[in-house]
A = this chain, B = another copy of it.
Amino acid sequence: MIKHISPTELAHYERLYRARLINSLSGYKSANLIGTTDKNGNHNLTIVSSVFHLGADPALVGMIIRPQTPKHHSLDNLETTGWYTINQVNSDIIERAHQTSASYPKDESEFLAVGLTPEFSAPCPAPLVKESRLKFSVQLQSAQELAINGTHLIIGLIHDIFVDSAAVQEDGYIDIEALDSVAVTGLDSYHLGQRITRLSYAKPNLPLMRLNTDGTPSA
C-alpha cells in the first residue's frame, strides 16, 4: 500500500521522526571519515554521509557540512589549512566510525577516542585513516555557505589516492564491494553492497549488455 505524506503532514512530524524520514529519501549514501588538522596540530575525524562525486577532470569531490553542530571543527580546520582527507568506511570499522559523530572537545583527537590510526602523506597536513582501504587527500577549492539553510558546500581537488590494489579493475572501476565499503541509509543504518550487475553505456535503440565486475561482457 502506498503511503502519501503531504507537506502539511510532514510539517507536523516530531523533529527526530522527520529527520529520520527525510534522511531516508535520497537513498543509499556514502560513508566517509573526514580527517583534518588544526593550526596547533590537533587532529579531527568525523563521519559524514554527504560526500558526492562532482567531476572527473579535474577530479573534484563535494560534500555538505553542518557547521552549527559542535563536532564540526572540521570546517574551521580545512579552511585554515586548505587540506582534508576522505576515507571510505568499511564494515570492520563501522562502530569506530559512527562514534566519531559524538561531540568531542576540540583538543581531543577522535582517533585516540575511538581507536583509529592516523597516517600522513605530504604535502597534506591532515591525517588519513590507516584502517580505511580507499582514501585520498584533498586540496580545498571552495567553501560556500548555502543561504537556504546555512549548510556549507565544500569542494576539493583530489590529490593523492591510496587504494587496495586488488580492487582496481582493468578499466579503472574500483570494486568497493571487495573492500567491504559500507553505505548509510537514514541517520544510522549501515549496509554492505551486493552487486546485481554492471551495465554497458546506454545508447538509444541499442540493447544494454550486462557486464562483469571487470567490465567484460557477461556470458
Binding site for B on A (CB under 8 A): 1-7, 10, 13, 15-32, 49-62, 64, 86, 88, 91, 94-95, 98-104, 108, 113, 134, 136, 141-142, 146, 148-149, 151, 153, 155, 158-166, 168-169, 171-174, 176-177, 181-183, 185-204, 206, 208, 211, 213
Q: Are A155 and B146 in contact (CB under 8 A)?
A: yes
Q: List 27 A-B contacts (CB under 8 A).
A: A2-B163, A3-B161, A5-B161, A7-B160, A10-B158, A10-B161, A19-B172, A21-B168, A24-B172, A24-B176, A27-B51, A28-B30, A28-B176, A28-B181, A28-B182, A54-B64, A58-B149, A60-B149, A62-B64, A174-B186, A186-B198, A189-B195, A190-B195, A190-B198, A190-B199, A191-B195, A193-B194
**Residues of chain B within 8 A of A177, CB atoms compared:** 185, 191
Q: Are A99 and B208 in contact (CB under 8 A)?
A: yes
Oligomeric state, in number of copies? 2
